[in-house]
Amino acid sequence: MATKLMPTDQIVDVLSHSPQRIATAIDGIADDLLASHPEPEEWSPLQVLIHLRACADVWGDSRIVRMLDEDEPTIRAVNPMTWLAETEYRTVPFRSSLSAFTAQRQSLLRRLVALQPGDWERGATFTGGGKPRRYTVWTEADALARHERAHLKQIDRRCELL
């Protein structure tokens, strides 16, 4: 059974609060602690943030923005973890990375808050990894918000221990 999509205003709310929620969680914590590994299999707050940045690149810039800028594009699906390997995000200190994430998010939000209801249905065909699939701005923004919400809880939990 498919998950019901969040209302668009809720998606915008989640996405708009993410950078500040991270900033609040890390307040007073040194960058070296934010990069520390609590357990071998657990991500540090820095690892979570760079993962969120890669997801924002892939879902926000590569997918949502293209759907808004082009009519029904065909987009080769890229895994955010694969994309991360193409970046230098792992070498960027936490607060600099958060600043870049915040700027990118503000750019995406400017686009999303300006959408008319029908614009959320703009879509693309995604190829790679099986049968081509059609997704919309709404489905991709919903996926980004849900995914991010889970990782924000992860940052909160880890920072409470630091």
- Summarised one tens digit per residue, pLDDT across range 92-149 is 999 999 999 999 999 999 999 999 999 999 999 999 878 999 999 999 999 999 999 9
Helical (H) or strand (E) element with 134: strand 133-136
pLDDT for res 23: 98
Q: How far is CA 61 from CA 44, 68, 138, 144, 162, in A?
A: 25, 10, 14, 11, 32
* Threshold 0.75, pTM exceeds: yes
Q: Which of these, 25, 90, 107, lies nearest to 51 by C-alpha position?
A: 90
Q: Which CATH number fits domain 16-161: 3.40.50.1400, 3.40.1280.10, 1.20.120.450, 3.40.50.300?
A: 1.20.120.450
